[in-house]
């Protein structure tokens, strides 16, 4: 009989890759989401009926318990970059994570994988980082042998990082960034999924793993890499933190006044996070401890950022034509 895994947030950016990988291992997959009708794209990840979206609200005990009942393993991928209504940082990243771990223990689940983030710190001035850390604490209090994954910024075809800035690069000669000198260690989404699957299968020792790719680079350097891929020249302008903080506060107020209808591109909490490096700590367990070789940024970016090139899918054809002309001259 096939084993069952419940993936909370399994239709999200990271969750869908975990669902696809564990389905290939022959597991039945429950993708627990708030809107199952918007997650039907996960069904083809396995055979008919192998991968199924199920309704779940992680703020509710009964809902969480029903989604994991009978599961052999549980993965929590739920996280937010900005609060929205009742789904605030504390409700989702702290209380939600703690609830999943507590109920997993009560339900006799064998393995729990919790996806957190590098920078989780309950003493941080960022609510995002604080609640990530409190969520980890809650998980370990209730499920001491959990596997906790802390990725740096995650990239891949559906990411909201390189895609966003590549899209911005199409308009105007300037590309504004906040924290141009802040360091990141971008990690490929499918590598994170591979690490999660190791935890589901019981092949990863309990503990916390910090996941970063092979390269450490500043925000500015990452933008130069992205611009090379999309073949555009732009002036990268760093917005000072005090200016960005004012902007973030203004956008936060606008969102509150509009009842959440208008959300700005930046929040004050995100500015606080951008002030800190986001790299694997010295001595932390990581990919090497999971026998995973992380994928280089340059190996993946061209596969999905080509659509932001001046000629999109025809860019390579035009280059080839130019080369032919130069050969014949």
Q: How far apart are CA 308 and CA 294, in angstroms?
A: 25
Neighbour count for residue 329 (Cβ, 10 Å) = 5
* CA-to-CA dists, residue 124 to 76, 129, 258, 272, angstroms: 22, 6, 28, 9
Split into its structural domains, the chain has a count of 1
Neighbour count for residue 213 (Cβ, 10 Å) = 24
The whole-number pLDDT of residue 163 equals 96
Let me know if residue 177 belongs to a domain: no
Tell me the pLDDT band of 212, cut-offs 50, 70 and 90. Answer: very high
Q: Is the pLDDT of residue 81 over 90?
A: no
Let me know if residue 139 belongs to a domain: yes
H helices present in 96-172, as ranges: 97-106, 127-142, 162-168
Q: Give the residue, 9 or 324, on which the prediction is more confident.
A: 9
Place of tokens 């996806």: 115
Copy the structure tokens of residue 49. 């009926």
Check: CB of residue 145 under 8 Å from CB of residue 207.
no
Let me know if residue 168 belongs to a domain: no
Q: How far apart are CA 228 and CA 206, in angstroms?
A: 40
Place of tokens 């000198």: 181
Q: Render pLDDT for 47-66 as a digit per residue (tens, 0 to 9).
A: 999 999 999 999 999 999 99
The whole-number pLDDT of residue 258 equals 85
Q: How far apart are CA 307 and CA 138, in angstroms?
A: 42
Let me know if residue 77 belongs to a domain: yes
Let me know if residue 102 belongs to a domain: yes
Let me know if residue 148 belongs to a domain: yes
In 3D, which of 92, 31, 84, 35 has the Cα closest to residue 59?
92
Let me know if residue 208 belongs to a domain: yes
Residue 55 DSSP class: E
In 3D, which of 101, 92, 104, 100 has the Cα closest to residue 131?
92
- Over the chain, what is the mean pLDDT? 93
Q: Is the pLDDT of residue 171 over 80?
A: yes
Let me know if residue 257 belongs to a domain: no
Q: Is the pLDDT of residue 274 over 90?
A: yes
Quick one: what percent of the chain has pLDDT higher than 70?
Answer: 94
Q: Render pLDDT for 116-154 as a digit per residue (tens, 0 to 9).
A: 999 999 999 999 999 999 999 999 999 999 999 999 999
Q: How far apart are CA 39 and CA 289, in angstroms?
A: 33
Phi, psi torsion values for 122, nearest 5 degrees: -75, -10
Q: Give mean pLDDT, residues 271-297.
A: 95
The whole-number pLDDT of residue 86 equals 83
Domain of residue 135: give its range.
4-156+186-214+278-295
CATH number for the domain that contains residue 285? 3.40.50.720
């Amino acid at each position: 009989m096939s084993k069952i895994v419940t993936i909370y947030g399994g239709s999200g950016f990271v969750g869908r890759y975990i669902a696809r990988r564990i389905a290939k291992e022959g597991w039945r997959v429950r993708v627990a989401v708030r809107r199952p009708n918007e997650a039907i794209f996960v069904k083809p990840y396995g055979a008919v009926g192998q991968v199924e979206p199920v309704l779940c609200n992680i703020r509710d005990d009964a809902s969480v318990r029903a989604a994991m009942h009978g599961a052999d393993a549980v993965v929590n991928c739920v996280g937010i970059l900005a609060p929205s209504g009742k789904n605030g940082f504390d409700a989702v990243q702290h209380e939600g994570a703690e609830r999943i771990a507590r109920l997993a223990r009560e339900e006799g689940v064998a393995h729990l994988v919790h996806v957190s983030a590098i920078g989780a710190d309950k003493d941080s001035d960022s609510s995002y980082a604080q609640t990530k850390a409190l969520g980890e604490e809650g998980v370990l209090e209730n499920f001491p042998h959990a596997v906790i994954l802390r990725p740096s910024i995650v990239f891949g075809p559906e990411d909201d990082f390189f895609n966003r800035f590549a899209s911005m690069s199409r308009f105007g000669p300037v590309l504004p960034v906040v924290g141009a000198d802040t360091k990141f260690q971008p990690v490929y989404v499918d590598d994170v999924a591979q690490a999660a699957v190791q935890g589901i299968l019981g092949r990863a020792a309990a503990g916390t793993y910090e996941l970063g790719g092979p390269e450490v680079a500043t925000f500015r350097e990452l933008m130069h890499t992205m611009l090379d891929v999309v073949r555009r020249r732009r002036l990268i302008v760093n917005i000072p933190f005090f200016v960005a903080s004012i902007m973030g506060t203004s956008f936060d107020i606008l969102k509150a006044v509009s009842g959440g209808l208008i959300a700005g591109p930046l929040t004050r909490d995100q500015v606080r996070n951008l002030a800190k490096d986001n790299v694997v700590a010295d001595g932390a367990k990581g990919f090497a401890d999971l026998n995973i070789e992380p994928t280089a940024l340059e190996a993946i970016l061209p596969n999905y950022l080509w659509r932001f090139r001046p000629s999109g899918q025809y860019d390579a054809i035009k280059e080839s034509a130019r080369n032919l002309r130069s050969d014949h001259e």
